[in-house]
Amino acid sequence: MALIFYPGPGRTVKRGAPLSGEGVFLKGNNGCAAILIHGLTGTPNEIKFLGVSLNKKGYTVICPRLKNHGAPLDVLKDTKWEDFYQSVRDAYMEVKDGHRFIFVSGLSMGALLALLLADEFRDRINGVSCLSPTLFYDGWNTPWYNFLLPLAIHTPLRNYFYHKEDPPYGVKNKRMRERLHNYYSNAGIDDAGKISEYGYPFFPVALLCQLKSLVSHLVSRLENIHVPVQLIQAKDDDISSVKNSQFIYDRVRSKTKEIVLLHDSYHCITADQERKTVTAKIEEFFSKIHSGTEKE
């Protein structure tokens, strides 16, 4: 990743309005609901394959677009992690009545929000599947200047620096990577282009401060989590290593918990080479719970 200094849009650029909504809702018929959560600066598209597959199995699927994802970067960078979590809570409130079982799954930061939901509504959430959970940016594609970021996070400089996304963009699949590269490599920092489809080509350093606060809050709550927990991560995850999954596994108090390692994917496992394997593992995990073969 390249680090970009950007003081903000010029005076002729109108500041974007806060954005929420525009998620995905698919009605099911098996009495189970699945809340799917995309990653930070991502989009519901990155978990679309999983959502459609679960819906075909009868699950009601809701994929909220996290607060201000899809809005201009100057709006997104000022969003608090609590606002992202509220988007998830709103999705839960939408499906909590009328479904006997409620499951939640999230990708990257979405996995952390999923665990928070399981903690808050521990008597109602039946299982959590964490996909490429990201507590620490320690993958093999972590930028060399990463150790300097804490200095920027605690100063006003955090509002003016952005990561420019570089290959492999979290995907090992060559065709997907080429599509992302065609967009990301030519996108300007003010370009709203295809962010609703591919996510943001730039990552505000200010959001790392929010992620750090979210991680601190979650880590203090992990020992309160007792629902079944599944963790799926690629051994070659370019963003966050498998140490992230192990960290969570070692701290949750769930009697039923597992780590599934992938061997042909990078970070965005729901859209990469082994997305069918990921979907099958999640379906199997959820099915065992609502069929009564896995109990806490």
The β-bridge relationship of strands 161-164 and 125-131 is unpaired
pLDDT at 151: 62
pLDDT at 11: 34
pLDDT at 198: 86
Position 152 confidence tier, pLDDT thresholds 50, 70, 90: low
Give the mean model confidence (pLDDT) for residues 80-89. Answer: 98
Average pLDDT of the chain to the nearest whole number: 89
Query: In DSSP terms, which residues pair with 107 in a beta bridge?
Result: 131
* 206 Cβ neighbours under 8 A, 6+ residues apart: 77, 78, 158, 159
DSSP tag of 65: P
Give the mean model confidence (pLDDT) for residues 221-230. Answer: 98
Position 132 confidence tier, pLDDT thresholds 50, 70, 90: very high
pLDDT at 157: 65
Q: Is the N-terminal amide bond of 168 cis, ω within 30° of 0?
A: yes
pLDDT at 243: 98
The listed range with the strongest mean pLDDT (113-117, 147-151, 180-184) is 113-117
Lowest mean pLDDT among 1-10, 26-35, 231-240, 250-259: 1-10
Which has more pLDDT, 79 or 72?
Answer: 79
Lowest mean pLDDT among 98-107, 149-158, 175-184: 149-158
Give the mean model confidence (pLDDT) for residues 194-212. Answer: 87
Is pLDDT above 70 for 250? yes
Give the mean model confidence (pLDDT) for residues 15-33. Answer: 75
Domains of the chain: 17-140+211-290 (3.40.50.1820)
Please report, rounded to a whole number, the percentage of residues in the chain having pLDDT higher than 90.
72
Task: Give the helix ranges, DSSP H, for 20-63.
Answer: 48-56
Residue 274 CB neighbour total at 10 angstroms: 19
Is pLDDT above 90 for 238? yes
Which has more pLDDT, 48 or 161?
Answer: 48
Burial of 263 from C-beta contacts in 10 A (0-12 / 13-18 / 19+)? exposed
pLDDT at 186: 84
The whole-model pTM stands at: 0.91
